[in-house]
Structure 1
């Protein structure tokens, strides 16, 4: 395993933490202003999230994130200067946060080695949110190229009093540009930090590069173990027994960090082939009080909460047409027969699954009448659903309800999304 950095925290971040007084407010996902959906809850208790919805060019939500500044190298001889600038961290208007590393054009910016060569961004939740235990995940598309070092990670909220690594560090995802096919998950604590961190790498099958597409990176953290996954596939679990008698310090709240570093002891410097600007694109970050990952890729159950038939108008069942597991298979009403094509799992990750795939709004559309289909689970909002106490099954991406076409209830009636109206053809019960 490649040697990791000596430490990842900056003095400025430490000062922020010392002064931070954090209260984690436990909330539930709601899906709109409709009164009959006001008490809607996600399948798992969501304690914090950022979907990065906002106008293109707007700054990350300051009620959720603090942007760090400085060019001290963060103990790793990194080359970037972190700026609180929309040139380096901004929403793209399509539901993403984009962290951009650029060649520096400001001669006034000084780094540890002299005039700074690059600028980038690093965001943390030290002042706004910390949590001990639960499910932490983000959907990210990483940059590419020698010298790039994107990361999604966590530090203990006692950093200001005990220092690093005694506070503990959980690296949920790190990628270095010379390993386009791999990400790393690592623990750093007293006696097992830097190059001695405890962790493992995950490699995409078939030699694919992580920079080619979005992927979901997550940890499930309990008092006695931490489990890492990529796209629902678990690739390592660590417990106190893995530390060889060294102290397990993952017993208190941590805060989250997103950053894109340039250069450093581990990734090395950019070379002539590295193109700038480079971007780390984050679709969402979500935290729940508890959760689970699928057992094996898209065939996982999303951390099942309940499995059964979904019954609608006329007592008819939600059904996968022809019992086909092919991507794009239409979803319809059908007489209830108890077949696997009618057995749906509401997962703690917000998915609704059958035949190993997800209930999906075709093309990610938000329009009334958009068809619903079965599709490979990919973590998009088109596959996120909330089943409310009013029996609406609401798509998070569109903020619209699952409905039958033309208010019909016959065998074979196609399903779609429509503006929630309270009509009978939009009411669903998990049997």
Structure 2
């Protein structure tokens, strides 16, 4: 039976695709080796640099973010290299598993999944590595499974304080174009991202932004690579082309997305996400529930992960909300499976969409008989009223 109204896709990515981007993607595919494509490719390759805030190359792959993880590792490391990673959640754990499959010696600093990576612990770990055997430090910027943000600039400082030469790699798959990110200024060597989150595109593109240090490491790295090889990409990219068939229609969409982000203003985009995160957390606390991220100042503007009361299933609640209110919420992953649900508030998203989303959650909690207090939506609205969006005058 048909359901009236729009479906609320409120998972923390893929995010809903704006109409302008859908229209751009729907253009006719062109010859990716013809003269017209060079303009598309050059525009995409230069435009994405402004989102990463880098003057260095950004490689664009037709792949998911997982491919971007693998590309970062195989282009800069050799079999048996030690790699330091921090357990911030499910996606940090998956990146570590990829490293292990590639025969790297991946080492975890254990975390409790309730905050970002700790710069002090990273500095202390590196300081013990007197022989500089650790070749890379890998950190997830915005941990999509928990709603926690790692302080990337502070981690760069920690690596420098330890006097360590390790490459610094960052996954900002769900952070880019939603949270402030500065590849060059923060001294990141390889930044990994994907198309389906803050960039507002469908899944299908991944990115590696690469520093000069990373490019130098690439010439000495001996992990096997073919599809992911930066060297094969960099030559054709100079003239706007790719060594194999690119995702042409997604590049159309990427160019539109970059224009949209700059039209709004990146700082305004970041402020909007921060504001919506604050309002969502106010709703959760008004309901009497706990936000999974427990480290003040590291809460994400991309999503809010919510802990269920003891004895109640997050998955049953999500199923109830979907059945009765046509809203999709993110599930808990691995260690927090069935204990957490995640509210996505990222991408092309405004105040009214947030209030409607939170209303759907609150009605779902009631329908699923999850113990909670009323008034979460009101608490969120009070935050939104006190902190008007850009272009709206304060009282």
TM-score > 0.5, shorter chain as reference: no
TM-score normalised per structure 1: 0.29
Instruction: State the TM-score, normalizing by the size of structure 2.
Output: 0.31
Greater RCO between the two (CA within 8 Å, min separation 6)?
Answer: 2
Larger radius of gyration: 1
- Judging by fraction of residues, say which structure has more helix: 2
